Chains A and B, each alone.
Chain A
Amino acid sequence: MDCLDPVRKALLDDLDEGFAELYGVHRDVVFSTALRLSGRWADAEDLAAETFLRAYRAVAGYDAERIAALQTRPWLLTILMNIWRNCARAKSRKPPPDLREEPMEVVDPREGVEDAALRKETGDELAGLLAQLPEEQRLAVVLRHVADLPVVEVATVLKIPQGTVKSHVSRGLKRLRTLGGVR
């Protein structure tokens, strides 16, 4: 078991200590993905919290062999993706919200005035453009270039072939350049 990373080693040792390790290593990637999928800070908090809770409940039922084989990052992001898709499906059954009354808002409550100004110049605009991409392209671009996953992991998370991941990403990037006027 020497080849195991610290997260899996800790999970095998003690579920709660292992979870602390899992959370410490993956919290930023899970939260960032949740934020760029949902587009809202509060939704991202709900989504990320639910992801970690479900992960904990799932791993509580896994045997040692399964934990030892766990690829923790794509596994967590797969859980997140399932929750996100179920939410989106549940929302689509309700009457559609009036988008003009619900502006996309990505505000970190901790950020100061200068940070907010900086975000307006860079993040906000690009995040808005991301929201205009078709879902499959947006998921692929967020996982590949915001969460910084290798293509093989994106393919695992989205359950599509690596070639398809590459084409979603390149079409998504092309569209972002057109939309944003970025070369």
Chain B
Amino acid sequence: MNDDPLLARLAGLAVEAPAGLLDRIAARWIAVPSPIGELSVAWTARGVAYVHEGDGFTGAFRSRFGRPLMPATRPPAGLVPALRTGRLSGLALDLEELGDFQRDVLRAVQAIPRGEVRPYAWIAARAGRPGAVRAVGTALARNPVPLLVPCHRVTRSDGALGEYVFGPAAKQRLLLAEGVDLGRLDGLARERVFYLASDTTGVVCFPTCHNARRITPAHRHGFRTLGAARTAGYRPCRTCRPDLQAA
């Protein structure tokens, strides 16, 4: 078409865009099942970025991430089991858009084992800001990847379940589904018991710690504060670390 060899060679400098370019621009999404019903999940080339419940997914994603969203035909490997168990097992998360404190908070939440709960103050201490209990609440309310970072396992120190991104009812369902005995916790809270100690081991734990659940009734002692347990001669459990929070 071009008689001029220079023009033909210039036209030959045009190339095809590389196949991976779109993944650096757009996120993919899919609807998947979870213990609390269907969820919409979006991910980038770096990992899962957003888990949403209910209507308004695309609008919420757009205002939060400002990135195009394209439907995928299958979820990333490991997503569905991770939503079911709260264990990532190698599933990558993309938390790039978050601030340092929020990322530290989410990392602290990941340390709570399935079937157990920890107070907000404990998360604040592990995130490196022992006094920032309210800020932890705010950070968890904006957790972009609930279930994958199991913020439903963070509860109030007075025994109430507290708020949740997907609403308190979903929090209750998730905790019951993973075997937390909410009735027992509630009973203890009514008696103002927030720590359980064993007089055979001399150790004091959070009530949902697997060490606390093994204590037989005859050897179990309840305490309202960690200070009281310490005065009575108990040392904080090295597994659930009740000492890791501001008194």
> Is A bound to B?
yes
User: By the criterion of a CB under 8 Å from any partner CB, how many residues of chain B are at the interface?
Assistant: 25
**Quick one: CB contact mask for B1-44 with A, threshold 8 Å, 1 for yes?**
00001110111111111100110111000000000000000000
Query: Smallest CB-CB separation from B2: which chain A residue?
Result: A145
**Quick one: CB contact mask for A32-67 with B, threshold 8 Å, 1 for yes?**
100110000000010011001100110010000000
Asked, given contacts A16-B70, A56-B68, whether A27 binds B21 with beta carbons under 8 Å apart, the answer is: yes
Asked, given contacts A15-B62, A16-B70, A49-B24, whether A28 binds B17 with beta carbons under 8 Å apart, the answer is: yes
Main secondary structure of the interface of A (DSSP, over half): helix
Q: Would A53 and B13 count as touching, CB distance under 8 A?
A: no
Q: A94 in the interface, Cβ–Cβ < 8 Å?
A: no
Query: Which residues from chain A contact B14 at a C-beta distance below 8 Å?
Result: 28-29, 32, 146-148
Asked, given contacts A16-B58, A16-B70, A49-B25, whether A126 binds B15 with beta carbons under 8 Å apart, the answer is: no
Query: Which residues from chain A contact B5 at a C-beta distance below 8 Å?
Result: 182-183
Q: Report A153 CB to chain B, min CB distance, Å.
A: 15
Chain A interface residue count: which class? 35 or more
Q: B184 in the interface, Cβ–Cβ < 8 Å?
A: no
Q: B67 in the interface, Cβ–Cβ < 8 Å?
A: yes
Query: Smallest CB-CB separation from A174: which chain B residue?
Result: B6
Q: B133 in the interface, Cβ–Cβ < 8 Å?
A: no
Q: Would A141 and B58 count as touching, CB distance under 8 A?
A: no
Q: B69 in the interface, Cβ–Cβ < 8 Å?
A: yes
Q: Report A119 CB to chain B, min CB distance, Å.
A: 10
Q: Would B62 and A123 count as touching, CB distance under 8 A?
A: no
Docked pose: A122 CA to B6 CA in angstroms: 11
Docked pose: A147 CA to B69 CA in angstroms: 27
Docked pose: A123 CA to B15 CA in angstroms: 10
Query: Which residues from chain A contact B17 at a C-beta distance below 8 Å?
Result: 27-28, 30-32, 48
Partner of B21 from the list A49, A126, A173, A182 (CB cut-off 8 Å) is A49
Q: Report A55 CB to chain B, min CB distance, Å.
A: 9
Query: Which residues from chain B contact A120 at a C-beta distance below 8 Å?
Result: none
Q: Would B18 and A110 count as touching, CB distance under 8 A?
A: yes
Give me 14 A-to-B residue pairs in the complex whose CB atoms sit less than 8 angstroms apart, sorted by A's number: A16-B58, A27-B22, A29-B14, A30-B17, A32-B13, A36-B13, A52-B68, A53-B25, A123-B12, A130-B13, A145-B7, A146-B10, A147-B14, A148-B14
Interface residues of B (CB under 8 A from A): 5-7, 9-18, 21-22, 24-26, 58, 62, 66-70
**Given A31-B17, A49-B24, 17 new contacts (CB under 8 A):** A16-B68, A16-B69, A16-B70, A20-B70, A23-B26, A28-B15, A31-B15, A35-B13, A48-B21, A53-B25, A57-B66, A123-B9, A126-B9, A126-B10, A145-B7, A146-B14, A147-B14
Interface residues of A (CB under 8 A from B): 15-16, 19-20, 23, 27-32, 35-36, 45, 48-49, 52-53, 56-57, 60, 108-110, 122-123, 126-127, 130, 141, 145-148, 173, 176-177, 180, 182-183
